[in-house]
Amino acid sequence: MIAHAMAESDDTAGPERIGLRKEFDQVGIGDVLDQLDRELIGLKPVKTRIREIASLLLIERIRKRMNLTSDVPTLHMSFTGNPGTGKTTVALRIASILHRLGFVRRGQVVSVTRDELVGQYIGHTAPKTKEILKKAMGGVLFIDEAYYLHRPDNERDYGQEAIEILLQVMESQREDLVVILAGYGDRMDKFFGSNPGFRSRIAHHIDFPDYADDELLAIAELMLQDMAYKFSPDARDAFIRYITLRKTQPLFSNARSIRNALDRMRLRQASRLVADLDRELTADDVMCLEASDVLASRVFAEADGPKGSAVAS
């Protein structure tokens, strides 16, 4: 595809008309966007933003073929949002969109945190950061919890060195690498506040909202479907109550909490089934999560509702 584009740019005139639909179908971002809609529940603002970016890039690609020169658009992004709102998942999708549109050459995602970028002694940070940057070139560098790079309480912290190298590469090698910073909203704001260079080099700030109750339920059902499990109708009702209760409790991390809850329910279902060894099991038995599997959760016991005590007894 790249060779094709280059051959086009050799003749100075360039093609006069380009069918938008043909171009759209050809790069196949439609599939990726549909998959995004299908597999990611909720996240309306995020999806709208990604569609916008994808459209921009599609037009940019066509402009390039028509020899309307323009710089490589800045594609660095920051994802802010609470834990478990799908930042990493979206980063993977973005990488594949960028790859299909030809804005990154390989489309791999290198996901790192502070540990992988910052060294432990003087002179250790630069090679370490460069090593990661080299691995990420041609793809996307995803820095999770990016605010840990900057430690305001310690001005001799090596994080600053990593930040400087990152900024330099983000600016000078825009066509080689897309950097995505991710983290919780308020702390990212503080991070950008103390590193204005980062803020201005990032074109797209995308905020990930928390999921609503019904979205969490839809996520749970999608996860179960992937694992070839399902809720019985009673279990489904119980799980709706579970979500409402769990959200009020501390350390709730959206989809991640849901995944963990489902894992514990599978555990309970398994021990319930194994308790009766003389039984003959059908496929339906091993697929179905019953209300008791849900209601045994600690979440119900901690809530002071009458349902919780009924299960405990």
Partner 1 sequence: MRVTQGCFSFLPDLTDEQISRQVQYCLEKGWAVSIEFTDDPHPRNSFWEMWGLPIFDLPDAAGVLMELNECRKVYGDCYVRLSAFDNSHGWESVRLSFIVNRPKDEPGYRLERHEGAGRNIRYTTKSYAVDRAEGKRYGGT
Contact footprint for partner 1 (CB under 8 A): 105-106, 108, 130, 133-135, 137-139, 169, 173, 176-177
Give the C-alpha separation, 143 to 179, whole Å: 8
Q: What residues contact residue 190 under an 8 Å CB cut-off, 6+ apart?
A: 147
Structure tokens, 83: 């834990």
Give the C-alpha separation, 259 to 253, whole Å: 10
C-beta of 132 vs 224, nearer to partner 1: 132
Give the C-alpha separation, 42 to 47, whole Å: 9
C-beta of 83 vs 119, nearer to partner 1: 119
C-beta of 61 vs 99, nearer to partner 1: 99
C-beta of 108 vs 232, nearer to partner 1: 108
Q: How far is the CB of 104 from partner 1 (least distance, A)?
A: 9
Q: What is the chain's percent helix, strand, coil content, to nearest 5?
A: 60, 10, 30
Q: How far is the CB of 138 from partner 1 (least distance, A)?
A: 3
Look up residue 213 and give its amino acid.
Answer: D
Q: How far is the CB of 169 from partner 1 (least distance, A)?
A: 8
C-beta of 36 vs 177, nearer to partner 1: 177
Q: How far is the CB of 179 from partner 1 (least distance, A)?
A: 14
Give the C-alpha separation, 188 to 194, whole Å: 10
Q: How far is the CB of 123 from partner 1 (least distance, A)?
A: 14
C-beta of 112 vs 265, nearer to partner 1: 112
Q: How far is the CB of 282 from partner 1 (least distance, A)?
A: 47
Q: What residues contact residue 132 under an 8 Å CB cut-off, 6+ apart?
A: 110, 112, 116, 117, 141
- The values of phi and psi at residue 42, to 5°, are 70, -140
Q: How far is the CB of 73 from partner 1 (least distance, A)?
A: 18
- Residue 217's Cα: distance from chain center in Å? 19
Give the C-alpha separation, 122 to 161, whole Å: 10
> Between the CA atoms of 28, 34, 40 and 46, what dihedral angle is there, to the nearest 10 degrees?
80
C-beta of 26 vs 173, nearer to partner 1: 173
